[in-house]
Amino acid sequence: MDNRIKTLFEQKPQGLLSVYFTAGYPNLEDTVPIILELEKNGVDLIEVGMPFSDPLADGPTIQQSSDIALRNGMTIPKLFEQLKNIRQQTQIPLVLMGYLNPVMQYGVERFCQKAQEIGIDGIILPDLPLSDYVREYKQVFEQHNLCKIFLVTPQTPEKRIREIDSHTNGFVYMVSSASTTGSTTGKAVANTDYFQRVRQMELRNPSLIGFGIHDNNTFSQACQHAKGAIIGSAFIKALAQEGTLQENIQSFIQRIRN
């Protein structure tokens, strides 16, 4: 079965820009307009964040956007409702990213089924461990043609990276440095040994680098070490600027791509 993530990596081998935003932020009904505007500005892949009350792997920016999104009334059923006609409007690869608990309450199988119906291509659940995924959920994800994307970090041993690579498809999400999301310390692209090490492993899957990518400089450096990079917190900050969604998104993507 075709999957838009796989097609993307086949067609565009370098310099991919993936953007994360929290669904329901800044306003409840911004989800579809943000997706369409990102596509219009040449973004390659979009990660739609499903807000959670206790986002352990996230720094303050995504914590706050999640709080606001939840207060605005965002839920998984609401998000699915918003996205139900999205494939009539765009073919950009879409990944849903969130934490396990809300998905568990919705029902993992029902969630995968609904995601496939809508035309979602991939899922990221940082707190679903590989072992549980393989034991309980892999079959369901694959049956619904969803790429389950896993994170690796500078501390992940080679053996585990190989294991993750063997059970996943779509891409490997390389966490740039040991941190929660949204760090701007500049550590993000400093760890070239780690990027090299992973590149030399010649994994089955392409990789994208995320966490701490926030400007043209960090984006282009990340692109030298992987197929592209993922931006989240910096984009969410841009959405909070004065101006319309269109203006903010356009100027942000221009700044990154430059």
- Binding footprint of other proteins, residue count (CB under 8 A): 39
Span of 31-39, 47-55, 197-205, 220-228 interacting with other proteins by CB under 8 A:
47-55
Judged by CB under 8 A, the chain residues 70 through 129 that form the site for other proteins are 70, 75-77, 99-106, 126-129
Active-site annotation holds for 47: yes
CA pair distance 105, 103, nearest whole angstrom:
5
133 near other proteins, judged by CB under 8 A: no
CA pair distance 194, 175, nearest whole angstrom:
10
First-last CA distance in the chain = 35
For residue 140, the minimal CB distance to other proteins (Å) is 17
Active-site annotation holds for 202: no
151 near other proteins, judged by CB under 8 A: yes
180 near other proteins, judged by CB under 8 A: yes
191 near other proteins, judged by CB under 8 A: no
- The one-character DSSP state at 87 is G
Comparison of 38 and 125: residue with beta carbon closer to other proteins: 125
Distance of CA 65 to the CA centre of its chain: 15
Counting every residue written for the chain, the total comes to 258
Q: Are 48 and 79 in contact (CB under 8 A)?
A: yes
With 0-12 / 13-18 / 19 or more C-beta atoms within 10 angstroms meaning exposed / middle / buried, residue 168 is buried
Neighbours of 113 (CB within 10 A): 15
Q: Which residues bind other proteins (CB under 8 A)?
A: 52-54, 56-57, 59, 63, 67, 70, 75-77, 99-106, 126-129, 131-132, 150-153, 155-157, 160, 175, 178-180, 183
